[in-house]
Structure 1
């Protein structure tokens, strides 16, 4: 079988490896789709991550078809379509420094347990949509960290895959009004398609003024604050933090799920006087299969997040496209 690995700084190869043997507690999955994450480009740039520096198997957004089931495994059958929890692998996180990666023909799920390491999904769900399960869990955890309530008014900064996933998560949780902010018109159009109540083009509009129009004026130490309850940064840009804190009313929440590559100065006087809560978000401690039900129920909306599907024999093109700023939304590698 073939597997995609990082062989050194800036270098990847598709190599031949031995197809794994399925033990009594394991499940062998034939890969059918795997999303490309921004972290994949980071791993390639630095030449891999520990514990396998320079030899990191890639791919941690998998969906596939079960081809072998160990004798001790229950609730899973050959032919089942499954989504996978890369963080549950005993040999290390799949595609994140562990022994295996999902940008490969097959993936062995060791100590397989339904609801912990994998979950069965209906067969009508397109593979490229199923592969969104992992990044949508990241988005759902970011939303959960903000503790949204139905009466809340929310703004999501960034209409990339995580921002769109967060928008769907807020709507699934019954939040009354969700605004999405971005600078790319096509992304904003997609946000409206999946259910955002309004969008703001921050390259052309005053975000704070527009939020006040949409959400009313909020109570605060100083006037000119928006009535928005939750600000979610899914963009990882310093300007987002500055804008959110400039708009935030007393008691507002700023959630950060976007990756910031540079330090961001903040107005602590405003944070203190308005008692603003800032929460970070990383991974998905409990959300990996919580999100699956909504993904299945609303798969047509989630399908809009996928911008490109590229066959595995062109995996290098997929990795390059995903790492091109503004080049794509969500790139998913598919397998015949």
Structure 2
């Protein structure tokens, strides 16, 4: 089957300016593979790049920025020097090595994408026939959640609190359950998000507009007192919300040797109570998930073999021809969890 000469590629041209540009279909050089995209998720970072007009919104773009990094599809061609990868192979792609959709020259919101450094187990992960492309495309955000848990030293016995029930918070919940944790609380302000969290197995899902994080965790994870100050019994907090006020509340109420993993993007510096962090030996670690091949593979294995119902993760599916409609829905936290773009096979 012949590949088209041109295709539409989603690229950011400036603040609130994203276009489907007609560009040549990429070709394979040495060490590269060409993948026909079947499904690509819309990430909050994609929406951020569009709103800011680039990766950080500080410097004007010197050239349009391709977006899309949560995807799976079929290999259609390989370049010289690529071993163990063949046309027709179904794969999910770890975007880290070439910064796919995050500053690199390629983005997956397009029918075809060039994958640099094509290597099984690093950039390309083979999919069993039983694993759908859209489910496989969840491996990227699931591995982000898993990485945040690993950075925080998550154990099955941990009492875990997740701040934020957006797509990454929900993926963190899924992977915490995958690791065997059962005492998992999650917090948000959007009732629909909390309903999805309950469907995915949260032990407690709380609207912080109705009850404070500290109050809810005191009754769910227990409480105590140290140096005259109250604490909650939570072992690990995973920040997927990016709320300064929430993180300050966590530090104020964290117990002795509690851990905090910061997955969310905080746009401004914030003041934290360093005395309390010192006195309670609280560990705070950042998690950017840009070197996670092992975790990506673990997410694929979980998706292929686990019996957990993840239907609540994917809230909407749109054909790529409805790209702008898909973005609008993805930006509505009350309506959307993971919005998936789908690409029909060429005729």
The TM-score, its normalising length taken from structure 2, stands at 0.89
The equivalent residue for 2:190 is: 184
Pairing 1:267–2:273 present: yes
Pairing 1:48–2:54 present: yes
For residue 188 of structure 1, report the CA deviation from its aligned partner.
Answer: 1.7
Unaligned 5+ runs, structure 2:
1-6
Distance, in Å, in 1 between the alignment partners of 2:305 and 2:121 is 18
1:221–1:250: 8 Å Cα contact kept in structure 2? no
1:80 to 70, 84, 89: 89
For residue 114 of structure 1, report the CA deviation from its aligned partner.
Answer: 0.3
Distance, in Å, in 1 between the alignment partners of 2:220 and 2:117 is 50
1:288 to 287, 296, 300: 296
Pairing 1:5–2:11 present: yes
Q: What RMSD, in angstroms, separates the aligned Cα atoms of the two structures?
A: 2.1
Distance, in Å, in 2 between the alignment partners of 1:230 and 1:254 is 6
The equivalent residue for 2:138 is: 132
**What secondary structure is seen at the aligned counterpart in 2 of 1:191?**
helix
Distance, in Å, in 1 between the alignment partners of 2:143 and 2:228 is 37
The equivalent residue for 1:311 is: 319
Unaligned 5+ runs, structure 1:
none
For residue 198 of structure 1, report the CA deviation from its aligned partner.
Answer: 2.0
Distance, in Å, in 2 between the alignment partners of 1:189 and 1:319 is 22
2:338 to 320, 330, 335: 330
Distance, in Å, in 1 between the alignment partners of 2:162 and 2:146 is 13
For residue 116 of structure 1, report the CA deviation from its aligned partner.
Answer: 1.0
Distance, in Å, in 2 between the alignment partners of 1:275 and 1:96 is 35
Residue deviations 1:114-156, cap 9 Å, x none? 0111101122323222211111111111111110122211111
For residue 52 of structure 1, report the CA deviation from its aligned partner.
Answer: 5.7
Q: Note closer, same or farther for the CA distance 1:53–1:306 as it changes in structure 2 (3 Å cut).
A: farther
The equivalent residue for 1:29 is: 35
Distance, in Å, in 1 between the alignment partners of 2:170 and 2:255 is 24
Q: Note closer, same or farther for the CA distance 1:193–1:273 as it changes in structure 2 (3 Å cut).
A: same
For residue 206 of structure 1, report the CA deviation from its aligned partner.
Answer: 3.3
Q: Note closer, same or farther for the CA distance 1:325–1:192 as it changes in structure 2 (3 Å cut).
A: closer
Count of matched residue positions in the alignment of Structure 1 and Structure 2: 333
Distance, in Å, in 1 between the alignment partners of 2:275 and 2:208 is 25
Distance, in Å, in 1 between the alignment partners of 2:170 and 2:332 is 19
1:24–1:72: 8 Å Cα contact kept in structure 2? yes
1:61 to 59, 66, 70: 70
Distance, in Å, in 1 between the alignment partners of 2:210 and 2:39 is 37
For residue 176 of structure 1, report the CA deviation from its aligned partner.
Answer: 4.0
The TM-score, its normalising length taken from structure 1, stands at 0.91
Residue deviations 1:262-319, cap 9 Å, x none? 3322222222221211111112422232322112223753332111111111112222
Larger mean Cα displacement after TM superposition, 67-76 or 7-16 = 67-76
The equivalent residue for 1:238 is: 244
Q: How does 1:140-179 map to 2 (within 5 A)?
A: 140-179=146-185
Q: Note closer, same or farther for the CA distance 1:25–1:210 as it changes in structure 2 (3 Å cut).
A: closer
The equivalent residue for 2:4 is: none
Q: Note closer, same or farther for the CA distance 1:54–1:77 as it changes in structure 2 (3 Å cut).
A: closer
1:38 to 22, 25, 44: 44
1:51–1:98: 8 Å Cα contact kept in structure 2? no
Q: Note closer, same or farther for the CA distance 1:71–1:279 as it changes in structure 2 (3 Å cut).
A: closer
